[in-house]
Amino acid sequence: MPNRKHPRRKDHEPHDAVFKAFFSDAKIARTYLLHYTHESIHQQIDFTIFQKIDTSFVSGRFGISFSDVLYETRLASGASARMLFLFEHKSYLPSLPIHLQLLDYLLQIWEDDLKNDRPLSFIIPIVVYHGAQGWKQKAFSSYFPGLPKDWAAFIPNFHYLLTDLNRIAPEEIEEKAETEYLKNLFLALKFARNEKFALKNWPNVLTFGKPFYRNDREGILLQTLTLYVFNFCNMTEAQVKELNKQLPQAERDWIDAIPEIFGKKWKEEGLRKGYEEGLEKGIEKGIEKGIEKGIEKGMEKTIYNIAIKIVEKFPNWSDAEVAGVVGMTEDFVKQVRQKLTKK
């Protein structure tokens, strides 16, 4: 059943992409379960076996989703059980009951179990939401008013865990004792709806704390979050400079190390290349056009380098998902993939 009536809107893709980048990291998913689920849930998990599994078969028909992430673990008691956590992100209130999309996921996962001759997996669906309106969690049976009470037994009524960032104060998010950058992601998602409040509080979002190693894992996560912040808020160079002054030195150095997304270094590099290109092409196209093209190429090179890292880290991501992170078109991402293939 294709979803023709409720197509996905482009403005949700940056939220989905940054969520998936973070929750595709097992340490962050584990941190979430430890700090945002009841102890009756996370105390029953054997975290020595906790791994992300392929979700290529999960493609919700009731509202296409880029952000579904699935983890496999087992019970801490040692009992034989394949327990899955399905993470789903929403930046808007769904127009259809969320149960339909989740049930579609569950059925596809169970179908995959049967195809691979496995016992049916036990699945706990989790929804992380940060839309403009509060999420009212309702039982699926509430969508069938007027039925005789005895008929409720025929409704596939199941529960899902909900984290509504609207209902969580920033102070509560910051108080969570964790070091895997979940705090930074949740603050970014929470503040994204209020630009004035966001610009005031971005130092909290972009302060990553210690230790800050800047290894490949951290580099991808922090570049992804920074691109999300800068692109979604459409920050000016002056705002970036002011923000940078409020950050600790390690984070300040890291933002300076990003290949000139907004700052003076990027503009100077673009000007230099522009002059060189303008001189090479001569008066016909003019120095001014050369400058503009050089600046454009400088930015494209910056985004290209980050896109390469994301494609290499998450090879199963679609072109639309990568494009949502780097703020470019899907055609741009296709070109990146083509160049990587030729290497």
60 by DSSP, 3-state: which? coil
Q: CA 164, CA 229: separation in Å to the nearest integer?
A: 20
Cα 264 from Cα 294, distance rounded (Å): 14
Condensed to tens digits (0 to 9), the pLDDT of residues 239-292 reads 777 777 887 777 777 666 665 454 444 444 444 454 445 445 543 444 444 434
Give the distance between the most distant pair of CA atoms in the chain. 84
CA–CA gap between residue 91 and residue 306 (Å, rounded)? 24
CA nearest neighbour of 67 among 27, 35, 22, 7: 22
pLDDT at residue 262, as a whole number:
47
Which alpha helices (DSSP H) does 137-263 contain, by range?
Answer: 170-175, 182-191, 195-205, 216-233, 237-245, 249-257
DSSP state, 75? B
Decide: 133 and 93 in contact? Cβ < 8 Å: yes
**Burial of 221: CB neighbours in 10 Å, binned 0-12, 13-18, 19+:** buried
- Residue 87 pairs in a beta bridge with 69, 126
**193 C-beta neighbours (distance < 10 Å), count:** 15
What is the chain's length?
343
pLDDT attached to residue 270: 47
> Which pair of structure tokens corresponds to residue 264?
């003076």
Taking 50 as the pLDDT cut, the residues of the chain under it are 1-9, 66, 260, 262-272, 274-276, 278-279, 282-299
Task: Give whole-number Cα distances, 113 to 75, 103, 118, in Å.
Answer: 18, 15, 5
Q: Write down the pLDDT at residue 149.
A: 84
Tens of pLDDT, residues 130-167: 988 889 999 999 999 999 988 988 998 889 999 999 88
| Structural domain boundaries in the chain | 1-145+152-193, 264-327
Residue 257 is predicted with a pLDDT of: 62
Six-digit token pair at 239? 């705002």
- Residue 196 has a pLDDT of 73
Q: Provide the sign of the torsion angle of the four alpha carbons 298, 303, 307, 310, taken in this order.
A: positive
**What pLDDT, on the 0 to 100 scale, is given for residue 1?**
36
Which has the closest alpha carbon to 70: 129, 133, 24, 4? 24
Q: How far apart are the C-alpha atoms of 303 and 184, rounded to whole Å? A: 22
